[in-house]
């Protein structure tokens, strides 16, 4: 079916032919792949929720916090961080996403988060 057929009433009732695929036998993933996935997920989780509860932060976490702080300063101002959180707690994606989403919108915040996590 080409693009223009979509507007042709004759083709509305026609069903698209089902291409016989390969045998859909799903095999269990190797254990090493699952471990890799778990490590990756916990890494992203740490980056997402980095806060005061994590005493020792990695270099990547520091970078995320620093980038978020720069975004906060650029978008809202130099005093906004102290207004939003108490002294001592570090900025994280989880804590900053609501304010970014509220004032910039969901789509812009998604782009911003992508920028923050770039090359990490």
Partner 1 sequence: MPRLVRWIWILLALHLTLGMIAYAHFQVTGRYAVLGWYFWALGSLFFLVMTAAECCLAILCRSWFDSDEPMRLAWSMIACAAMARLAGVLLRSASDGHLPWGHWHQLSQPLGGLFASLSQVGMVVGGPLSMAFLAIGLGRVLGIQRRFHLLASLTRGDKALLLMVLAFSISQISMNLPLLWNRPSLGTMLLWLSDPLLGLLLVEAILVRRSVIRMGQGLVAQCWGMFVLAIVTTSAGDAAIWASNHGLLSDSMTALSWYIWFVAAAAFASAPAYQFAAIALTREDGLDFLPRP
Q: Name the residues that contact partner 1, by CB under 8 A.
A: 59-60, 63, 66-67, 70-80, 83-84, 98-99, 101-109, 111-112, 115, 119-120
Distance of closest approach, residue 82 Cβ to partner 1, in angstroms: 9
Instruction: Please report which helix (H) or strand (E) contains residue 41, including its range.
Output: helix 31-49
Distance of closest approach, residue 114 Cβ to partner 1, in angstroms: 9
- DSSP secondary structure, 80-111, as one string: HHHHHS-TTPPP-HHHHHHHHHHHH-HHHHHH
- Rounded distance between C-alpha atoms, residue 96 and residue 75, angstroms: 12
Distance of closest approach, residue 72 Cβ to partner 1, in angstroms: 8
12, 27 in Cβ contact below 8 A? no
Distance of closest approach, residue 4 Cβ to partner 1, in angstroms: 29
**Judged by CB, which is closer to partner 1: 5, or 73?**
73
**Judged by CB, which is closer to partner 1: 21, or 86?**
86
Q: CA angle at residue 101 from 96 to 107, to 5 degrees?
A: 125
**Judged by CB, which is closer to partner 1: 46, or 80?**
80
């Amino acid at each position: 079916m080409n693009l223009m057929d979509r507007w042709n009433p004759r083709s509305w009732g026609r069903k698209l032919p089902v291409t016989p695929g390969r045998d859909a036998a799903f095999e269990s993933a190797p254990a090493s792949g699952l471990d890799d996935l778990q490590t990756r997920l916990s890494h992203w989780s740490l980056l997402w929720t980095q806060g005061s509860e994590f005493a020792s932060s990695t270099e990547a976490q520091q970078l995320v916090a620093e980038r978020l702080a720069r975004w906060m300063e650029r978008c809202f101002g130099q005093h906004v961080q102290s207004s939003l959180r108490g002294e001592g707690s570090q900025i994280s994606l989880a804590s900053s996403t609501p304010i970014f989403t509220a004032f910039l919108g969901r789509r812009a915040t998604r782009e911003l988060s992508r920028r923050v996590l770039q090359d990490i």
